[in-house]
Amino acid sequence: MSLHRKLGKTYTPANQQGFLGPGHIARAVIQVPYSDSDPFIMLMDDMLDKKDNIPVGGPHPHAGFETVTLMLEGEMGDKEHTMKAGDLQIMTAGSGIVHTETIDKEAKMRILQLWLNLPKNDRQALPRVQDISLEHVPTKSKKGLALRLYSGSLAGLTSPIKNYTPFILADITLEPGISTTLDVPASYTAFLYAIDANVLVGNEARQLKTNQVGWLDRLSEEGDSQLRLKAGEMGGRAILYAGQPQNDEIVSHGPFIADTQDDIRRLYREYRNGEMGHIAMVEEEQRLVW
């Protein structure tokens, strides 16, 4: 018998003033306890409309997880590395790394940045950065469906991105009235973030409206489950996040994820002592470009 995923908790995250100045609006997309979102720790939808040349941002540390950055609109970076709309970067903070995000000119952009938990045995992994440009993202386009697969395997596609935590990230656009059924591992925690118009989810065809977050029901069975999506009259676009729960408690403090409070104190000490390297200086084999 086929397992069918259905929509559970839904909500619309509120706009909040961001930390990059008056032109920065942020939405906290994940608003459920970590026990329900595992392996997803945090997801921010950052919208920036910067109208001056005053630098904002700067260097800061991370450890114990991965940042997954999807550029929805605009571009950021420098001559050596620029992210543009449709590009993805995954940074494995692992044992501890410093990275720099500085915006020193007028800019308009929208970014989704996820904090993805690492398996406990990989918490101290060597820092790594992976970049995949829009031109190299596996894509499926047919009969009113456009699907970009950034991570994992879905709809007959497989991303080249290397994962510690099994994880699907897909950008799905459906023209009005078009439907699709996707096979998603039944054990994966999964949610949709509706970017544009509306999407009908599951056999029950529950509506997910623009800017809403919809969590799929959690299943304990193994194997695949089916997720049915259908666009409403205006068409629809949603980002699918699905990942294997790690089922380990975590300690979160500031920019660090760890197993114990002692680990957190150690990470702060290493950062203050200048013992964390910068992501720009990682070995070439830890820099993967697809």
For the segment 238-268, what is each residue's pLDDT rounded down to a tens digit?
Answer: 999 999 999 999 999 999 999 999 999 999 9
| Banded model confidence at residue 112, pLDDT cuts 50, 70, 90 | very high
Query: How far is it, in rounded angstroms, from Cα 123 to Cα 135?
Result: 31
pTM over 0.75: yes
Determine the residue type at 258: A
Confidence of residue 59 (pLDDT cuts 50, 70, 90): confident
Residue 262 burial (10 A CB sphere; 0-12, 13-18, 19+): exposed
Q: What is the pLDDT of residue 79?
A: 59
CA–CA dist 184, 172 (Å, integer): 14
Distance separating the N- and C-terminal Cα atoms of the chain:
38
Pick from 264, 174, 181, 166: nearest CA to 226: 181
Is pLDDT of 78 > 70? no
Question: Which pLDDT does position 281 carry in this prediction?
Answer: 86
**Mean pLDDT estimate for the chain:** 93
Sign of CA pseudo-dihedral 242, 117, 165, 158: positive
Section 163-181 average pLDDT: 97
Per-residue pLDDT at 42 exceeds 70? yes
Compute φ and ψ for 34, nearest 5 degrees.
-60, -30
CA-based nearest residue to 173, from 112, 109, 234, 85: 234
Using CB atoms within 10 Å of the CB of residue 290, give its burial: 0 to 12 exposed, 13 to 18 middle, 19+ buried.
middle
Residue 104 reports pLDDT greater than 80: no
